[in-house]
A and B are shown apart, each in its own frame.
Chain A
Amino acid sequence: MSNDGALGRQEGKSKMFRRVSERRILKLSMLVTVIATIGAGAGIGMGAVLRPEKSLVTPPPVPVNDIGTVSAFDGTPSAEERAIARHAKVQEDMAAITAGTEVVPDELLPGDRVGPVRVPLAHLGDADRAIWMYRTTRGKVCYGLVDFTAGCVQQLPVAQVVSPAAGDPGDGGGTIVWGFARDNVRSVNIIVNGEPQPAVVGRNAFFYQASSTAARISAVVATTAGGARVTLPVTLAEATAEQ
Chain B
Amino acid sequence: MTFILVALVAASLVFAAAAFAAISTYHNGGMVSGQIESTCCFYSRDFNRVYRPGGYVFQLGYSADGQTISWAAPNTWDNPFVDQRNATSAIAFCNNYSSYFVTPVTCQTTVP
Q: Which residue numbers of B lie inside 8 Å of A, CB to CB?
A: 19-20, 22-23, 25, 28, 36, 46-47, 49, 51-56, 59, 61, 63, 66-86, 98, 100-104, 106, 108
Contact = CB atoms under 8 A, between A and B. Distances in A.
Interface of A: 46, 49, 56-62, 64, 92-93, 95-97, 99-101, 103-105, 108-110, 144-156, 163, 165-170, 234-243
A235 B57 CA distance: 11
Contacts of B49: 96
B6 to A, nearest CB: 26
B82 A97 contact: yes
A241 B82 contact: no
Contact of B54 (A92, A147, A155, A241): A155
Contacts of A56: 103-104
21 contacts: A57-B103, A58-B53, A59-B53, A61-B56, A97-B80, A105-B106, A149-B72, A149-B75, A149-B78, A149-B85, A150-B82, A151-B77, A151-B78, A156-B77, A165-B72, A165-B73, A235-B73, A237-B61, A239-B68, A240-B69, A243-B36
A240 B71 contact: yes
A96 B104 contact: no
Contacts of B68: 239-242
B70 to A, nearest CB: 5
Contacts of B79: 108, 110, 151-154
A236 B73 CA distance: 5
Nearest to A176: B73
A153 B75 CA distance: 11
Given A144-B84, A152-B78, A242-B66, A237 B73 contact: yes
B55 A60 contact: yes
Contacts of A46: 101
Given A151-B82, A155-B77, A58 B20 contact: no
A99 B82 CA distance: 12
A243 B100 CA distance: 20
Nearest to B28: A103
